[in-house]
A and B are shown apart, each in its own frame.
Chain A
Amino acid sequence: MSDEQQLKLQAFLDGELPEGDAREVAAWLARDADAAGLLGELKNTRNALKNFEPALKLPESREFYWSKIKREIERTAPVATPARSVSLFTLLRRILVPVGAVAALAIAGFITVHSFSGGQHPIAVNSLLADAGAFTYRDQAQGMTVVWLSYPAENKFAEKSSADTLPAK
């Protein structure tokens, strides 16, 4: 008997064959004593197992067995709940901190630019060298700085200085 035939016989016993195949096997069993003998052995073994599954009792008391299960359930459950709220807070903090920092930098930059540019108009900054008759203009929009020096000097200090250095006519 081939392996395939043996497995077919078993499938017949277990009711796993399509109807056509089952009819073929039934006919084969009627004329083949070896096949019928093997089927009988398989059937006896199957019945022995089906009716005699070892009846086992858990070797622990109900209370002790349950206490371990309950402890494990409680150990895993509380961890999961706070973990969710903590992680949400952490997530918000992770997002909000850098976003806040970027926003603060942007606001600071905006204020700085406005204080220097005064909007669209260039700002004129009086030079510290006022006594030399020098003025500085800075245009933020154009990226340009103009320094204006009056010559001859338009104030008394400059006039004095000029008088000291220029030769008398």
Chain B
Amino acid sequence: MAELEYSSAEDAALVRAAQKGDMDAFEELVARHRDKIYARAFSMMRNEDEATDLSQEAWVKGWQRLAQFQGDSSFATWITRIVINLCLDELRKQKRHRTESIEEMDEETGGVERQMPVVTTNPTERLERGELRQRIDRALDQMSHEHRTVLVLHEFEEMEYKEIAKTMGCSIGTVMSRLFYARRKLAALLADLKSQ
């Protein structure tokens, strides 16, 4: 049997090898997708250490559950779902240990975004690429984790409402509502309409 050339092999071949216990093949998968998995954890947690720990935990779980991977989605999508679920579990744990602030409760129901005037300028036209990226980053920092998560799952992971609702354990109506107010708040933050 020909030996697998890890660096040039496709994900599917590496997954098959890893499923048979080849840890070197799994390491190659980690090396290929580690930045994406870390980025996803960071976009949800907004903390480097937590994001690193949770991304590593996702890889360990990925190895342990590798037999369950049937190839219905890409390996990258599959491992991303694992890290998203771990982040959601962690956020729920953290939420149980803290009292919701008035601002957070206000955000859940829409808050000031309900009455906010429509932002007519397009941030992608008005701002430099680097500046826009920084602003998006800062804006995500200022959101409650529920609003941030819904944005991340919808815009970055391109999930549909139904799938987000299932992942977050809430109704489709709640997803729609959170997404709407998260978008409006983000528009305001990008346009400097809301104090930062």
Contact = CB atoms under 8 A, between A and B. Distances in A.
Given A51-B124, A52-B136, A65 B180 contact: no
B135 to A, nearest CB: 9
B30 A65 contact: yes
B118 A72 contact: no
B60 A16 contact: no
Contacts of B177: 3, 7
A100 B31 CA distance: 56
A97 interface: no
Q: Classify the interface of chain A: helix, strand, loop or mixed.
A: helix
Interface in A15-68: 16, 34, 37-38, 40-42, 44-60, 62, 65-66, 68
A76 B120 CA distance: 55
Interface string A3-16: 10011001100101
* A: contact size bracket: 35 or more
Interface stretch (B3-11, B48-56, B90-98): B48-56
Contacts of A6: 180
Q: Classify the interface of chain B: helix, strand, loop or mixed.
A: helix
Contacts, number: 122
B123 A58 contact: no
A40 B59 CA distance: 40
A42 B183 contact: yes
Given A7-B177, A41-B119, A73-B60, A54 B43 contact: yes
Contact of B118 (A37, A49, A69): A37
B84 interface: no
A128 to B, nearest CB: 77
Given A48-B123, A58-B38, A72 B60 contact: yes
A70 interface: yes
A51 B155 CA distance: 9
A76 B60 contact: yes
Contacts of A40: 118, 120
B172 to A, nearest CB: 9
Contact of A48 (B48, B64, B124, B173): B124
B180 A7 contact: yes
B186 A45 contact: yes
Given A7-B176, A7-B177, A69-B30, A45 B183 contact: yes
24 contacts: A3-B177, A41-B119, A44-B121, A44-B122, A44-B124, A48-B122, A49-B151, A52-B124, A52-B133, A54-B43, A55-B39, A56-B38, A56-B39, A57-B35, A57-B38, A58-B38, A59-B48, A66-B27, A69-B30, A69-B56, A70-B27, A72-B60, A73-B23, A73-B60
Interface of A: 3, 6-7, 10-11, 14, 16, 34, 37-38, 40-42, 44-60, 62, 65-66, 68-70, 72-73, 76
